[in-house]
Amino acid sequence: MLNKQRLVMSVVALAVLSVSQLSMAATTVTGGTVHFTGRIVNAACAVSADSTDQTVNMGQYRTAFFTAKGKKSGDVPFSIKLEDCDTSVSTKASVSFSGLSSADDPTALQTSNISGGSAGAAKGVGIQIADHLGKVVKPDGSVFSTAQNLVDGVNVLNFSANYISTQATVTPGGADADATFTMQYQ
């Protein structure tokens, strides 16, 4: 009888251990996706990751500020940082910008309402980009900024952006634009 009780107790203990092992089994679920992006370039410099996708805050302006076609807001500085530059490959760098040009002023980007809001897109205003010497860089990809001398290592190419009224009357709304840029090394 004692052996029978031990046998029953052993079987019960084994069953309890088996069930507890099953409840501790790992569960695997898909968690998501990690996107890795980058580029290997055969150029004099590499564009810093900080500069490849940046936002320039243009601020707010009243429609009354734009009193005539061609009126410009204040300049907002931004830069493109280059790393690991090798002047034995190239000694100068320039940049072109590409985006949707304003139908009223091809030297300016057409504004839209990328950031959202109920007012829609502002009309009669565009965004101009100028290089470090103040030369306006037409945003159609065909015009490059004034070439800047490079040094070995890190270089910062300075630019500015401003609003410009492309019509005599400006209406309120989102005044956003996107532009891609292309590097040219000489």
What are the extents of the domains in the chain?
Answer: 46-185
The tens-digit pLDDT sequence of the chain (186 residues) is 666 777 666 666 666 555 555 556 787 777 777 766 677 788 899 999 999 989 999 999 999 999 999 999 999 999 999 999 999 999 999 999 999 999 999 999 999 988 777 678 999 999 999 999 999 999 999 999 999 999 999 999 999 999 999 999 999 999 999 999 999 999
The residue type of 155 is N
Cβ atoms of 172 and 126 closer than 8 Å: no
The residue type of 37 is T
* The listed CATH number (2.60.40.1090, 3.40.50.300, 1.10.1200.10, 1.10.10.60) that belongs to domain 46-185: 2.60.40.1090
- pTM as predicted: 0.79
Alpha carbons 159 and 111: distance in angstroms, whole number: 19
Give 142-159 as a DSSP string.
EEEPPPEE--SEEEEEEE
Cβ atoms of 117 and 182 closer than 8 Å: no
Give 19-81 as a DSSP string.
HHHHHT------------------SS-EE-HHHHS---------GGG--STT-B---EEEEEE
